[in-house]
A and B are shown apart, each in its own frame.
Chain A
Amino acid sequence: MEKLKVKIGLEVHVQLTKLKTKLFCSCPSDYRGKPPNTYVCPVCLGLPGSLPKVNSKAIEYAVMVALALNCKINRKVMFFRKHYFYPDMTKNFQITQYDRAGGAPIAVNGYLKLSTSDKEKVVRIRRINIEEDPGKLVYPTGSIITSPYTLVDYNRAGIALLEIVTEPDIETPAEARLFLQKLRSILEHLDVCDCGLEGAVRTDANISVAGGGRVEIKNIGSIKDVEKALMYEILRQKEALLKGLSIRSETRHWDDVRKVTVPLRVKEEEQDYRYFPEADIPPIIITEEFIEKIAKQMPELPDERLKRFQREYGLPYYDSSVLVSNKKLADFFEETVKLYKRNPKKVANVIINDFLRWIHEKGLELDNVKAKPKDIAELLKLLDNGIISIKIAKTVLPEIIVSGKSPSQVVKERKLLKISDKQIIRQIALKIFREHKKAAFDALKDKKAINYLIGQIMKYTKGRADPAVTGKVVKELLTDLKEGKLKL
């Protein structure tokens, strides 16, 4: 089948988790892990008579994100009510933003540049809204289908969200992943969202294949799943097209257990949201001075940091881009370099090639890795000082990642110190020579057999024997054997 034109747009909901309170009331925002309905007040519970009041910091954060995404920031911002009934809603309308009756979302017309292997890709940002999160539904049987009733926890209700909407500029699931990774890195560099928290970033993706109907996939929880859901959807739509079926516009749900998209049964009539201005919130005027003030306070963003890594640490583009794709990883790198200044490239190598590999292998996130930058620095120093071998270093790394012990502690506990004492290695080598007599004699004329013997010594010492010393000892023993000074 020929390559079909794919158009993907994303609608990303980002919780401003770094705010201390909700968007319209002073309830604390760190609701995760708290007992249900203990982080609610008359406002976020939608009690009759309560009124919303805007968190000023939310506006600051939104402006920061808008600047980072190169958006035009509107000078007059208004909140609107968007109406739909659902049990997770406390007022049965959501306070959000809209561009009617003199209203406008906080920011529009931005873009984000992605670097893929072969080109630079621009994804346009259509708009950024500030809005409130609904509460959370809990199904007592675990399933929406079989539960005879629904339990509701409104702790999340009223948490500040940014809704970031792109134009349908994305052409592959991989690009969607890149976009989300970069967005995440930006949000973390701005310190507005701890994107690793469960449910902190939720994505709706819309996709059309070969000009077919626009299919919206709702509420995908992780970046990986966005890529998977889009791949699934492209495949599904291509198969349908092959069978001569047409793709109709619809909304589908991402089932993150079965990893498939399923159609949502939505009544047509439900789509009338009846937006109108929220009279309880006066318009917000965003002045030039305010934007300038924010712009001046903007922290370093991933693109700038990448350039600095190349400049300051002499890292290649690839290394720098891997490191800054995740703020915590870049921070980890820089902190390690502070403690191990002599060779940043070596730090980058360890982090990118070994550290990251082990994190993935152990199924961890950077957040729950126990090893600290000082541990990596220490490991490199142990290596440099000849206390451990490279082979040992590679066995120590996974253990410090999981246990949080320092490298020297692991080396000590597991008796992994390098053996460089010539006498000891000589004794071990003799033992090996005697156990592998044939190999020892073969080694007099065959290089391969020499390597075999060294390998056996390494195996015996669990890699602790200093390779240089070992090589020297083996050579000496072979000379002795040849000259008859050594009897096996």
Chain B
Amino acid sequence: MDVLSKPANELGELILSGAISIVDLIDKVYERIMKLESKVNAIITLRSRSDLLKEAENKEKEIKRGAAKGLLFGVPVAVKDNISTKGIRTTCGSKILENYVPPYDATVVKLLKKEGAIIICKTNMDEFAMGSSTETSYFGPTRNPWDLERVPGGSSGGSAAVLAAGIVPLALGSDTGGSVRCPAAFTATVGLKPTYGLVSRYGLIAYANSLEQIGPMARNVTDVALLLNVISKYDENDGTSIPGSRPDYMYSLSNPYHIKGSLKVGLVVEMMGEGVSDEVRKVILRALDKISGEGIEIEEVSLSSLKYALPAYYIIAMSEASSNLARYDGVRYGFRAKIDGDWNKVYMETRAQGFGLEVKRRIIMGTFALSAGYFDQYYLRALKVRTLILNDFRRAFKKFNVLVGPTMPILPFKIGEKIKDPLAMYMCDIETVSANLAGIPAISIPAGFIGNLPVGLQIMAPPLHEELLLKISKIFEDKIGLRNLIAPL
């Protein structure tokens, strides 16, 4: 248990120095999965024990040869199941990709391998990342390690759960409208959605491609910075990848208090208003209380366009989804319905059987928003609202270094509580979607608990200010005093 609770940034050094055996570590990871997976259901595909041990042995040999190198050498990592892994099936939590094995690695997976990480498993998620609870997965819901009756958030619920359950120290998620931050908040872990274009999307199976980013998840801010160091590289395969080098985020954390002048933090009033539960509000205010003080000023700020962020987000996301998911027709890969008929009939049936209800709902609504006669009223208007939101953030960041608010408006809810009411589920994303619309970096760190239920604090920074965002997160983490938490299971 002890090795499994170690932060990744310590684990890497212990491995390279020979203090921890990789084979031993991987064995423990595997044992813990065997013990907990039946309760949590966080994993869609687990690599075979023999494969994992063989990789661990090879890595150990490299250490003995003195050939070992990499920021994550021998460190176990979990990868969300919408990130393509060569030779390991990648299902997106959907029946339609149940048997799909990508012939190529996503860029982030290549980078993980280059740094010596060991990919343990592909984690459970809402089908095609459409959900905020990991309940829409074809492979069944993931349970929150802090309360097995409750959801872990979504859509990267599996990645958050393997962290909170103490299985691996690092995981990759993806965030289209809060899918990294929401489960981080619900499981007392840390999750970052980077600036749009900072991390390559090549190999990330698209849900809404103008909004999403792959994000690092861990049990503390430093590990998130470490994983961001690994995955944030310019990628020529992604036309939206921002060119140029990235800072060393770990290095910047070595002295987080080295921020010029005093820190101005804006508490967004729209994020503390209607729909936010009293308990969440209380925890957030208490956390901000701990944070404020010498050198840190917290002041309220209003971004009035955020009122419209949620419908704008859903129009854009559903429209893009209806397009991105058109390719699943059962001809080149994936499930095909076993019926006889012309292509139209087979396509309709394949997609009827291959997609779950929420995916169909979003495809239908997205098709509607883009269809003749509605385009201007919905899709185009949403793009204009997106501009207004961007402008509001620009204005706010002129005055404030970062903006804060709750990550989730409510506490982790019971499995089954919201799944029948799509709009109630969509409302869960009210705090998170604006960062995706604006393309800015945002992080969720643990703010406190109500009983055993975690509450997350969300911090947002201007585009490409991950360094600042992580520094501030580290300061807040120090002051709040919640890190490296593993749910008692």
Contact = CB atoms under 8 A, between A and B. Distances in A.
Given A85-B347, A150-B343, A272 B371 contact: yes
Measured as residues with beta carbon below 8 angstroms from the partner, the interface class of chain B is 35 or more
A48 interface: yes
B434 interface: no
B429 interface: no
Interface string B361-388: 0000001001110010001100100000
A45 B333 CA distance: 10
Contacts of B323: 81, 83, 93, 274, 276
Interface in A43-94: 45-54, 81, 83, 85-87, 90-93
Interface stretch (A221-229, A278-286, A443-451): A278-286
Nearest to A279: B210
B237 A51 contact: yes
Interface string A263-287: 0000000001011100111100000
A45 B332 CA distance: 8
Nearest to B92: A48
A386 interface: no
A46 to B, nearest CB: 5
Contacts of B236: 53
A49 B240 contact: no
B284 interface: no
B375 A100 contact: yes
Contact of A48 (B84, B238, B319, B331): B84
A42 interface: yes
Contacts, number: 103
B398 to A, nearest CB: 26
B327 interface: yes
Interface in A281-308: 281-282
Given A49-B106, A53-B236, A92 B327 contact: yes
A282 B210 CA distance: 11
Contacts of B202: 49-51
B203 A49 contact: yes
- Nearest first, the 7 A-B pairs at minimum CB distance are A279-B210, A92-B326, A274-B370, A48-B205, A49-B203, A49-B84, A91-B327
Interface string A150-173: 101010000000000000000000
A101 interface: yes
Contacts of B326: 83, 85, 91-93
B372 A48 contact: no
Interface in B121-164: none
Interface stretch (B95-103, B249-257, B447-455): B95-103
Contacts of B83: 49
A154 B82 CA distance: 25
A51 B327 contact: no
Interface in B296-338: 319-320, 322-323, 326-327, 329, 331-333
A279 B240 contact: yes
Interface in B193-211: 201-206, 209-210
A292 B251 CA distance: 47
B239 interface: yes
B179 interface: no
A45 B329 CA distance: 13
A85 B209 contact: no
Nearest to A281: B239
B106 A48 contact: no
25 contacts: A42-B104, A47-B84, A47-B103, A47-B332, A48-B90, A49-B84, A49-B204, A49-B206, A51-B201, A53-B236, A53-B238, A83-B326, A85-B344, A86-B343, A90-B327, A91-B326, A92-B329, A93-B323, A101-B380, A154-B332, A274-B323, A274-B375, A276-B319, A276-B323, A276-B379
Contacts of A90: 327, 332
B379 to A, nearest CB: 6
A237 to B, nearest CB: 29
A245 to B, nearest CB: 30
A195 to B, nearest CB: 30
Contacts of A101: 379-380, 383
Contacts of B375: 100, 274, 276
B239 A52 contact: yes
Given A53-B236, A53-B237, A46 B327 contact: yes
Contacts of B206: 48-49
B453 to A, nearest CB: 34
A48 to B, nearest CB: 4
Contacts of A47: 84, 102-104, 332-333
Contact of B367 (A91, A154, A274): A274
A411 to B, nearest CB: 59
B239 A48 contact: no
A128 B379 CA distance: 26
B332 A276 contact: no
A51 B239 contact: yes
B320 A279 contact: yes
Nearest to B320: A279
A47 B331 CA distance: 11
Instruction: Report which residue of B83, B103, B237 has the largest number of chain A beta carbons within 10 angstroms of its beta carbon.
Output: B237
Interface string A137-160: 000000000000010101000000
A152 B205 contact: no
B383 A279 contact: no
Nearest to B373: A272
B204 to A, nearest CB: 6
Contacts of B90: 48
